[in-house]
Structure 1
């Protein structure tokens, strides 16, 4: 079999269920020819690859080893289906077709590089069949990312990686739909307040009517948690929904008329109506929790009287009238400031529900579930928040007003200081002696004369024999000196340059682009290389061999870059190239180690390859 062609026995089928015509399939780089074994049958054809836009194939392990070469939809005749005896034969033809189609696409003008994938109607590579939307996403990614386009052209078209292998490491980019990338804009609450919903009369009777819509119901539940809780508890077990809202708007009408005396009287007679007239205990509980999270150095009580609300005849103008305070009816009174603050808080929080607003019960239950999630989150953050408040409190302390805080300590009591320090010295000398090979055992209890004589003997021995190891190794010193000289030369050359520039910024643009591209290529190859281990199949072994050959080609390219730059930049380029070479060396060392480990004692290559 020649390198530029593939010849395989196969069956040609017009459909998957067709029994097919047995013959010989011959593929070259420009066309494929099918010749039936029976010359009497009319099934011979000669088709150029220029009319083929993609190829599909069945998964390994299925009943038939099929390969479908799809044509351009504008060309009549559909595609060409071939059945092979073995999946390995089919895979050889599949890979050959992929390389040929890749070369054909590469011959298109450079402006069409991003369409290498998109112009195949339905590609099936390595057990993967693509839909039109997936093809469009791949095409868009290649158009938007020129670096990704270079890597695709370098590795996929050259046959180092298949389409499926290349895109398998970018599933997150492919799985994200264009619509989901852009955050969806959800409709929030209207800026109009609930108090702006005015009652209306028909002019003929004393009936007062309020307009109630699903949007208003949702806003009521969000701004008034007590009403939301009452709806879940009362409807429909104790009253109908219509009666519930009638009582609610009765309470709102009493607030609107500013008749706190009548409101208190009706609340005393009707417990269900009192829920809407009295202060919201849930909001009060939320306010207390929020206050506990406030910076303790902020004294809110000190500013309480700044608005003069505590003085007589001072109030907030609302609807042209002034609110006055009646302490005995304070429970049934609500200020405009409270309504504004609560409405503003709800609007800023946004609408957290994505359910339809048609059914009131569904909206109420969904809102209850979201509140439970919020409470659970607050409970988990309570400890962290308490620690934060303690740290803030300690940081805000005035030191000279605080009581002295002495850290607890245990006093050290040494009965015999001389014995203690002598033992410490002996231990230190012993540890030093253990670390030095060939050191003679020393007697720590020497007289002054004996110690002086021992020291003179060591000095005399050192003069005669010299040091066993040099203080500084010559080769290390020379390497450090050369590196320092090159650094000084480079620094002198780049004097007056921007000190905030990186090493890459100081290199020529061409060298910089080449280094970045090689680094991206190495990362891509190593990512696929390490993910292929352990090698358990023939496919993985073939893939690792392709990756190894591709990585081996990068070594001379990096060396060429180092030799092509000026001498002033050569040291900096070497520093940049060094981690690339180390990463490649680690991959090759692992490959060789695995090869020796698997072939040791058997004389065979990994996975049975001879």
Structure 2
């Protein structure tokens, strides 16, 4: 046992597989040491442990079982000589400490496995490909998820960013704990909303957690702080979030000093004025003494909340915007502001019209009629005139019958161009089913259609898997990078294994069961042969280039 590990708990008289020893709970693993040895006979990391189980009440043996993620398990029998109470006390101490340690070391791999299991369950074609490649050991699981299932993982990895609700803090309803205290239940979305709205709190969190305090203690002090209840007058010097309000005040002051491009927005104005006696023409503004300090603080907090939400949205759009596209507001990166473009002027004009024009006070716009385009006005005024009747043409039936009779009289057979009877019979035999020019008979042509349903299902699965492998193979060409060279070699090797282990076995089964030849898989063999020829051609060209 190494001396560099911190021992959190030591339980003596613990039996494992009928051998006595000592159970140790350390900072990163649990280990059992046989009494006569100096090395651990059993040692598991907390990240490898899935759960723990204890023996039910009333059982003669006081046991604790550790279940691993791979399905394995180890049972420890507490056999203290002081009796059953001491045995239960030792077992409960180990159980409670494991309950505290296991959530901290919960592996993220479990979430990945659950996500992969969900993808296989929701995509039958992907599941069939997994069974054809991974179960038969044609390809490893890592190669499968990296090469053949990357597009499914990329579809699920795109998550929509959740916005910030204006009342997310008000929606956090505390619950009484029965001891004159309040209990707040926070989820991930609420914590992310706090981070977006109050960046200073996010910085404090990473500064103090987990080095100086726990996460629960941090959020308890946050809800008790003056920064959260900022309407309170008294400011404690011991408050953890005292400097957060000062930092936010500096940020707001910096935003006020910037030249805002929106003429309809004035963040410096902290008074709410309405049309008074002067009907909007009076220039008298209330003095600072008449303005309530609480109202000013509230307005500044609302402005800061809106600015933080807009900054988070603009930051997300900036990361999603591809490089080389023009930036907003007509500013070039690192240069002087350019003249506003046409759409900006149109948007500004639309905002001004929205502020100054009211649709309910405007006169109704008359409906525009459809304009007529007349080339001759007199015809439109006088109306259509009936056309003069035309004499009916004589039917050409008599003339056609005469020409047909003359053609029949002059017709002569071309006996020199007609095949002799023996050659005609030979050609007819060659073109009949089973002839020399008809290589497959009608029965053989319908052999694939008469296959059993189970064979059809297996053939369709092989076609899907082969098509997926061939798709990855042909997308590697032209092979222009070392990564593509490595990929085309791996896919080529996978194709050979798939051909030998799946298609060959399927063909042998067809010959034994249905008595069919290789005609059923002829198309599959042609596709694979084309891929093999392409790979050999690429290798020969590559050797010549070297």
TM-score (norm 1): 0.29
TM-score (norm 2): 0.32
| Larger helix fraction of residues | 1
